[in-house]
Amino acid sequence: MSEALALRHGMERNTRPPAREEAIEPGAVRAQLDRILASKTFSRSPRISRFLTFVVEQTLAGQEDKLKEYLLGVEVFNRMDSFDPRIDSIVRVEARRLRYKLERYYESEGQGDAVIIQFRKGCYVPAFSNRNSIPDDLASEALDIPHINVIGNLQAFALFARGRYNLTRWTSEGVAEGLSCFSQALDEDPDCVGAYSGLATSWVFAGLFGLMPARDVMPKARERAEQALMLRPTMPEPNAVLGFIRAAYDWDWNEAEPLMRRAIQSNPHDPYARLWYGFYSALCGRNDRAMHETHRGQQALPTSLTAHTLMGFSCHLARAYDDAVIHYRLAQSLDESFYPAYIGLGLLFADQNIPDQAVEQLTRANDLRPGNPLAKAGLAYAHARAGNRDQAIQIREQLRSERDAHYVPAVARALASASIGELEPAMEELEEALEERSAWLACVPGMPVFEPLHGSERFQNIVNAIRLPHHGAIA
């Protein structure tokens, strides 16, 4: 039983007597077992079915005290006598899958079944109950509300919540704190699927925010997302993260689409899955889909700075400039210190050749985050548009010198170089960004600042390498 439920039981102990479970006849349990094994949910999972059958029969035979991890590893999963549960987690992993499949079964095919077979976390002994006799509090434990990822360990949940909050800051400190919190949550609860998912998102953010090269962080994000899906295969966020990695890192945009759709289908009400799908769609040039999905996520998260900024970004790429301004301004009005909205709006004004406002917005972004290379590169672009070539050159040189002290994304340096007409260095830096596997390369073909490179064979090679579905040869 989770700590939260234990606390609730303690609070309610003096207000009502505990409900009594009715004894279930072995014949009824075996009939229910046969019904479950014949279901669509279980019929294609022979190992899980063997696991369920073994523990049910052992319990009915009065041998439940023998249902320990070692025995299950040897008898059910054919491990050798040398099997060590501390090293091999097969039993724990399959037990989580079994609990999940039972939940899905009783939410769908087994909605009307009278007999409930359930497992509490950390226990391999099944409990048999009559559906009508399950107390409300135990029913909520056995059959979680669909799509709610419950974290029963209070310490793990507190760390998970802190990690989530820190990711919304879009800062290097926020990402670092998020990684630390999610890692500590796993120390508290090794089965905390939300922490694995949070780590996957954190590593993707580290690449997107220019903290580390994508080639260094995206494999880590993929590993953590896959670990989350081992625990909960239909969880939306890790499916969406894997889809994004498949697109923006593997550059397999078409193969990413089914993963994005799976994230939506697993929970159509999840706004974050909509935002991931919208972001992916914006990068690969599906502007109508990008605005549609991002809008749905934004409507569900009206206080989210990320949602408003992504909506502005989607409108910007779709050339719906007036709408983009509204969304960026909305994010700024909710939090005047949220620097990404200033970067987005400044780049928008620069693309529209409104240089004074571009300089104003990007100066503000640099005041808020002085060391951010993307903000600096944007400011160089704005100054170049405004005719302040000397200031643009100075910023470009700062970015080039800073890479000796810390990582500076090649795509940021390329933006600064192209802004001042240094096309050969810009081309070299874009090729470096290709080696880094930067997700932002997807935006490069549509950015006005890089138009002078479009006739270059080297530039066309970059476009071909990232395999964007909406770009062919660029004249």
Residues 225 and 164 in one domain: yes
Residue 460: what pLDDT? Answer: 96
User: Are the C-beta atoms of residues 119 and 94 closer than 8 Å to each other?
Assistant: no
Q: pLDDT at position 11, please?
A: 38
Whether residue 55 sits in one domain with residue 11: yes
Domain holding 164: CATH number? 1.25.40.10
Closest CA to 302 of 322, 338, 331: 331
For 417, phi then psi, to 5°, come to -65, -45
Domain range spanning residue 251?
A: 147-255
DSSP H or E run through 115: strand 115-118
| Shared-domain flag, residues 47 and 68 | yes
Report the pLDDT value the prediction gives residue 461, as an integer from 0 to 100.
Answer: 96
Please report the pLDDT score of residue 435 as a whole number: 97
Taking a C-beta distance cutoff of 8 angstroms, is the pair 112, 4 a contact? no
The whole-angstrom separation of Cα 113 and Cα 106 is 8
Residues 131 and 187 in one domain: no
Are 43 and 172 in a shared domain? no
- Give me 280's structure tokens: 């992916």
Q: Is residue 326 part of a domain?
A: no
Asked if residue 342 is part of any domain, the answer here is no
Q: Does residue 251 lie within any of the structural domains?
A: yes
Please check whether residues 71 and 178 belong to one and the same domain. no
Q: What is the dihedral of CA 410, 411, 413, 416, to 10 degrees?
A: 170
Residue 158 and residue 138 share a domain? no
Residue 127 structure tokens? 């409990």
- State whether 121 and 157 are in the same domain: no
Look at residue 295 and tell me if it is in a domain.
no
Note whether 243 and 263 are within 8 A (CB): yes
User: Are residues 234 and 136 both part of a single domain?
Assistant: no
Of 255, 283, 310, the last residue of a domain is 255
Same domain for 179 and 94: no
Residues 103 and 177 in one domain: no
Residue 272: closest CA among 199, 322, 201:
201
In the block, tokens 């479970």 appear at 21
Residue 469 within any structural domain of the chain: no
Q: How many domains does the chain have?
A: 2
Q: How far apart are CA 277 and CA 285, in angstroms?
A: 12
Q: Distance between CA atoms of 475 and 461, rounded to whole angstroms?
A: 13
Distance of alpha carbon 395 from alpha carbon 371, whole angstroms = 12
pTM of full prediction above 0.75: no
Among 109, 126, 142, where does a domain finish? 142
Residue 168 sits in the same domain as residue 113: no
CA 300/CA 294 separation, integer angstroms: 10
Residue ending a domain, choose from 255, 284, 314: 255
The answer as to whether 304 is a domain residue is no
Could you list the pLDDT tens digit for every one of the 475 residues in the chain? 343 333 333 333 333 333 334 567 888 999 999 999 999 889 888 999 999 999 999 999 888 888 888 999 888 898 898 888 888 888 888 888 888 888 888 877 888 888 999 887 778 888 888 876 555 444 444 444 556 777 878 899 999 999 999 999 999 999 999 999 999 999 998 889 999 999 999 999 999 999 999 999 999 999 999 999 998 888 999 999 999 999 999 999 999 999 999 999 888 889 999 999 999 999 999 999 999 999 999 999 999 999 999 999 999 999 999 999 999 999 999 999 999 999 999 999 999 999 999 999 999 999 999 989 999 999 999 999 999 999 999 999 999 999 989 999 999 999 999 999 999 999 999 999 999 999 999 999 999 999 999 999 999 999 999 998 865 433 3
